[in-house]
Amino acid sequence: MAYAALSSLMYTLEQLLKPNQSFVCRCCTQQHLESLYQNLSALQDFLDNTTTKDIETLKVVEKRIRNVVYKAEDRIDSSLRSIVLADREHKQQKACRSFYEELLKVEQQVYFLNKEVMLIEFNNHGSKSAELARISSSLEKSTIEENTIVGMEDDFNIILDCVTAQTDELIVIPIFGMGGIGKTTLARKVYDDSYIRSRFDKQAWVTISEEYNERQMLLELVSSITGRKQEAIDDELMEIVYRGLKGRRFLIVIDDIWSTKAWDQMQRIFPNDDNKSRILLTTRLKYVADYVSCPDFPPHSKSFLTLDDSWNLFTEKLFKNDPCPPLLEKTGKHIVKQCQGLPLSVVVVAGLLVKMDLTHDIWMKVEKNLNSFFGTVTERCQSILSLSYNYLPQYLRACFLYMGGFPEDRHINVSKLIRLWIAEQFVKARSNKRLEVVAKEYLQELIDRSLILVGNQRASGRMRTCKIHDLLRQLCVSEAYTENVVHVMNGNVLESIDDQRRMIFLSEVEEKDDYRMQHSIGIIRTFISMQVDFRVWMCSIVSQFKLLKVLDVLPVLYDFSFVIPQLVHLRYVALQIKEGVSLAKMRNLQTIIIRRYPDLGPTTLKLPLDIWRMLEIRHLDIDLPLYISPFVAEIIRRTPNLKKLKILYRSKLPDSFSILQDLEALHIETQENIDPMIISRDISLPNLKKLTLKCTCIPWEVVNLLANLPNLETLYGHCAFDGTDWKVDEDVVFHKLKYLRLCRCRNLERWELAAGSDNFPMLEKLILFELPKLEEIPESIGEIMTLEFIRILNCGSGVETSAKKIQEEQESLGNYELDVEIYP
């Protein structure tokens, strides 16, 4: 991936251009570093701004850029490593001279590469890829259309209600979702419905596809509206369409639109005569759907099929009106389950099986070789799904392909994903935003493009995990290998790993593949184990990857303490160690996750405190026995820009947290009571959104002070609060609190709200767990307008009774939205 290669090398140069760097002589290198950076930046701008349709030529150009930049990065990083590790002055001087010589060579190579790229001429009259887009679009329609809406009945009724709504003005009704999910099938069913057709004077269907062709669109509309083909200039065709629709009630379907610009050019030809005309539009892109939608008619997200609906679609395609033979049903359902509710996949599977003998033995063979079978399914679907990838802007492509490195059918932790993206230099700064914020925007863009799915959410509503459909994951794996973004190892031998810079292991590697690993020692930059333990021979190889930037071997039961000191380019490290190691030379470390090796026992592990020199550090997670605990107050003093802070067990708490004005999340878990004054002093944390307290035993009157935290949204107390009465005074208002969880506050008997619902005006979720003495929930809790959910676990009968009473009273007032769950 050329764009990602450029970003990585540019990051290294940015570090060298900082005023406080002390590795290379500024007076000798400054001009050359700036020149090299400018040429790299020009190449990145070229990729950002290229809108050619000639995809084949562009891929050749990208490969050329990638190869040159990767080799340049190897030269620069190798030379820098020698400087960092030089333990004598004469060795350092020699290394600096070598770096300067390599810099001059790299500068020249990139200069000529820039000249070469700028002279390339593209064929902008279209290419095979544009034709492929048209073929794929029609393939998708012919594959899953045929007016079959198995499992889409609810979707159909929702769209039908919108189309037949009594609103007079012209309404645009967008349907969005990933490729192959059945958007066109749904739109066609609505379009062909006899009741719908009877309501409109004119109907027209136009398919846009990835490459918007205004003339083709106009010709299709003219043909549908007038009933005959007409040749004219574009302005005349627009006039024909406008006049043909003017004064008539019309239904237009705009299928497979990819840009807001295309809609801007199209919408002017549709008159709005306030006569209940409708435009039904399908797209893979949520931002396009949002852009075209009307305020009272939000975009409709086409959902995946349930397993039952997938099975019904499968049997309808395979057996028509006949039932599935009982002997095949169990095996068939297992096969269909692998489609994960994507209609395109279900239909392709049915199409493959219909060509085989419909016998139990044949289907059993398919079931036993699902990976091979679904490899064929993936190939059949790739031309459709790859359109979404090809339409991605450059800055999102590496982020998307990286998703293939996570195990299939698994939720992906968003925080970990973002940290990895940042360490890989996939995320570019935007204005004054933190990289974590930009990375979340990247992820949301991929979701809005129907490439990534939202997984679980946090109490605050923020995303905890995300997912990717298996077919799209397979697209990631194949494209990532081709584009040299990441090589995913999952049971396959290590053939063809030459030139692969990032390796992610989803299963063990055989020792016979050692020599192939050895061959790639000089270029591997990322080495990740996803829940896989390695044998000793594999672990020892890691120390030889001298230029590693990302090392995540946290699941591996091995002492990596001897490995760390040599890997001076690390940006991300997650591992287990037996001995304390110096991190002094890790100038680029952003993420540090270190765990105590389990065989170590209760001995305290001392870790030299080199963290203060790490100007790039973004995430620090060091396990309990490490020697960092006594220095919490000092860490806080030296890191005033912290966003999240978690303090566990025997760590000595500071006198105050008020220096942390940017803090958004605070977690305190102790083995002894904390001084309530710490809380009373820290009501000045203006950005704190989430507060978790465990085993702190704070008096309830001190808890009321937390209402002074202006942006607090989540409060979680586990054995955290002490006393029999929580009296929330009238002037105590938790203005933005959305989520309140009280767990094992076993002495609490009475909870009173002096101001009623006004004490918690924004509360959405209330969870009470193991409060055996609490008499009841305040009745006024039910009057909170935003309240959605109450969960009661292992509380007394009075709490359960009051929760049921609150729900009944709300239902009597017409509020059926409040969900109450009680677990005795």
- The pLDDT, as a whole number, for residue 403 is 94
Range 350-374 burial, b when 16+ CB lie within 10 A, else e: beebeeeeeeeeebeebeeeeeebb
Angstrom CA distances, 469 to 186, 258, 598, 711, stand at 21, 21, 36, 36
- The pLDDT, as a whole number, for residue 448 is 93
Query: What's the mean pLDDT in 92-114?
Result: 92
| Torsion angles phi and psi, residue 11, rounded to 5 | -60, -45
Query: What's the mean pLDDT in 651-663?
Result: 78
Whether the per-residue pLDDT at 762 is higher than 80: the answer is yes
Query: What's the mean pLDDT in 687-704?
Result: 91
- The pLDDT, as a whole number, for residue 540 is 73
Whether the per-residue pLDDT at 419 is higher than 80: the answer is yes
- The pLDDT, as a whole number, for residue 401 is 95
- CB proximity list for 237: less than 8 A, separation 6 or greater: 215, 218, 219, 221, 222, 230
| Strand 644-649 with 619-622, pairing | unpaired
Query: What's the mean pLDDT in 347-376?
Result: 85
The amino acid at 28:
C
Query: What's the mean pLDDT in 459-468?
Result: 87
Whether the per-residue pLDDT at 771 is higher than 90: the answer is yes
535 vs 524: CA distance, rounded Å: 19
- The pLDDT, as a whole number, for residue 28 is 83
- The pLDDT, as a whole number, for residue 497 is 56
608 vs 622: CA distance, rounded Å: 12
High-pLDDT (> 90) share of the chain, %: 51
806 vs 783: CA distance, rounded Å: 9
Whether the per-residue pLDDT at 604 is higher than 80: the answer is no
DSSP code of residue 793: E
664 vs 642: CA distance, rounded Å: 8
- The pLDDT, as a whole number, for residue 460 is 73
Least confident of 303-312, 357-366, 779-788: 357-366
Query: What's the mean pLDDT in 533-546?
Result: 75
Q: How confident is the model at residue 319 (pLDDT cuts 50, 70, 90)?
A: confident
Query: What's the mean pLDDT in 11-34?
Result: 85
User: What average pLDDT is seen over the chain?
Assistant: 86
8 vs 525: CA distance, rounded Å: 11
Query: What's the mean pLDDT in 621-632?
Result: 68
| Strand 487-489 with 502-505, pairing | parallel
Q: Which residue has the higher pLDDT, 515 or 473?
A: 473
Query: What's the mean pLDDT in 584-607?
Result: 75
**Residue whose C-alpha is closest to residue 593's, from 541, 665, 646, 524:** 646
Q: Provide the whole-model pTM.
A: 0.86
Least confident of 231-240, 432-441, 455-464: 455-464
Query: What's the mean pLDDT in 31-49?
Result: 93
- The pLDDT, as a whole number, for residue 800 is 94
- The pLDDT, as a whole number, for residue 197 is 92
- The pLDDT, as a whole number, for residue 78 is 93
- The pLDDT, as a whole number, for residue 246 is 94
Whether the per-residue pLDDT at 360 is higher than 50: the answer is yes
Whether the per-residue pLDDT at 579 is higher than 90: the answer is no
- The pLDDT, as a whole number, for residue 761 is 96
Whether the per-residue pLDDT at 396 is higher than 90: the answer is yes
Query: What's the mean pLDDT in 101-123?
Result: 89
770 vs 720: CA distance, rounded Å: 13
- CB proximity list for 509: less than 8 A, separation 6 or greater: 489, 494, 517, 534, 538
Candidate ranges 486-495, 543-552, 582-591; pick with highest mean pLDDT: 543-552
Query: What's the mean pLDDT in 64-85?
Result: 92
Whether the per-residue pLDDT at 597 is higher than 90: the answer is no
DSSP code of residue 548: -
| Torsion angles phi and psi, residue 711, rounded to 5 | -120, 15
Q: How confident is the model at residue 212 (pLDDT cuts 50, 70, 90)?
A: confident
Query: What's the mean pLDDT in 315-338?
Result: 89
Whether the per-residue pLDDT at 493 is higher than 50: the answer is no
| Bridge partners for 626 per DSSP | 605
- The pLDDT, as a whole number, for residue 284 is 94
Q: How confident is the model at residue 600 (pLDDT cuts 50, 70, 90)?
A: low
Query: What's the mean pLDDT in 389-401?
Result: 92
Whether the per-residue pLDDT at 614 is higher than 60: the answer is yes
Query: What's the mean pLDDT in 285-290?
Result: 94
Whether the per-residue pLDDT at 135 is higher than 50: the answer is no
Candidate ranges 140-154, 309-323, 507-521, 637-651; pick with highest mean pLDDT: 309-323
476 vs 487: CA distance, rounded Å: 10
DSSP string, 236-272: HHHHHHHHHHTTS-EEEEEES---HHHHHHHGGGS--
The amino acid at 705:
L
